[in-house]
Amino acid sequence: MSVEPKMPKCWRKESKPHKFCPGCGHGLALKALGMAIDELGIQDKVVFGCDIGCSLLAWDFFDVDIVQTHHGRTTPVITGLKRANPDLIGIAYMGDGGGYAIGSQHLVNAATRNEKITAILVNNTNYGMTGGQMAPTTLPNQKTETSPYGRSIEETGYPTQGPEMVAAIARDEAYAARGTVANMRQLKGFFKKALQNQIDGNGFSFVEVLSTCPTNWRTDAKGTWKYLEEEMTKFFKVGEFKTPAAKGEQS
């Protein structure tokens, strides 16, 4: 007797096993997102946008409407869809290169304009798809293909702290959090709150996800998990940075 693995209802089963490398955190992030979509009962309304980078491997992941965009342009594409059809639930899914480098202006402007979309950014501390170059999130002294002696803070500044930035610039109706694939229950909860903020018509919601890239980190299973749980969380604090103020409390 074959036992079917338990998958979220909104996943497209024909596209599994998925296309990510073994041990990649994208699959876990998308599982938590799938569970959040199922529990909120919004599958029929979701439009999922994926960026260039390894996030594009999610182009056939869900049984929902999907749009695949240019590098860094998923946030404005989903913004346009949402503005044209406010009944949709727009999700912009991207990597840290897509969201904090080439697409950083879109993140800043969507947050300041309080666009009523949900942006999800997977932070694996490098440009995964192109072979592991330094990203805005590369940790101090971390070795990558383009920082072979370790990232120099003197030359390149500190890693981008996205949810902290969004919390500082966004309106009171916004939601900003950082979760990790090491805590799936919490991550699903952050996704649900972010999506609920959009369902309620409040405003922008942003969740960064600490994730793994064993292929470019060149780590085994133990080393991958250790890097995620010990090195990354030292710099990137997990938690909620902004929760929408109750109506009437807003400045």
Ligand X SMILES: Cc1ncc(C[n+]2csc(CCOP(=O)(O)OP(=O)(O)O)c2C)c(N)n1
Residues that bind ligand X (CB under 6 A): 52-55, 71, 95-98, 102, 122, 124, 127-130, 135
Q: Give residues 208-227 in contact with ligand SF4 (rule: CB under 6 A).
A: 213-216
Say how many CA atoms lie within 13 Å of 24 toward its Cβ: 21
Residue in this structure with the two tokens 């996800």, named with its chain if needed:
209
Pick what 214 binds: ligand X, ligand SF4, none; C-beta below 5 to 8 Å, kind-dependent: ligand SF4
205 binds ligand SF4 (CB under 6 A): no
Q: Tell me how far apart the alpha carbons of residues 88 and 201 are, in angstroms, rounded to a whole number.
A: 11
Q: Per CB under 6 A, which region of 30-38, 110-118, 121-129, 155-163 contacts ligand SF4? A: 121-129
121 touching ligand SF4, by CB under 6 A: no
For residue 124, state whether it binds ligand SF4 (rule: CB under 6 A).
yes
Binding partner selected for residue 215 from ligand SF4, ligand X, none, CB under the kind-specific 5 to 8 Å limit: ligand SF4
* Per-residue b or e along 161-172, where b marks 16 or more CB atoms closer than 10 Å to that residue's CB: bbbebbbeebbb
Per-residue contact string for residues 18-57; x = within reach of ligand SF4 by CB under 6 A = --xx--x-x---------------------------x---
List CB contacts of 180: < 8 A, sequence separation 6 or more: 186, 187, 209, 210, 211, 228, 229, 232, 233, 238
Nearest to 175 by CA among 184, 188, 166: 166
Could you give phi then psi for residue 19, rounded to 5 degrees?
Answer: -100, 0
Closest distance of CB 21 from ligand X, Å: 11
Select 30 or 54, whichever has its Cβ closest to ligand X. Answer: 54
d(C-alpha 207, C-alpha 174), whole Å: 11
Q: How far is the CB of 241 from ligand X (least distance, A)?
A: 21
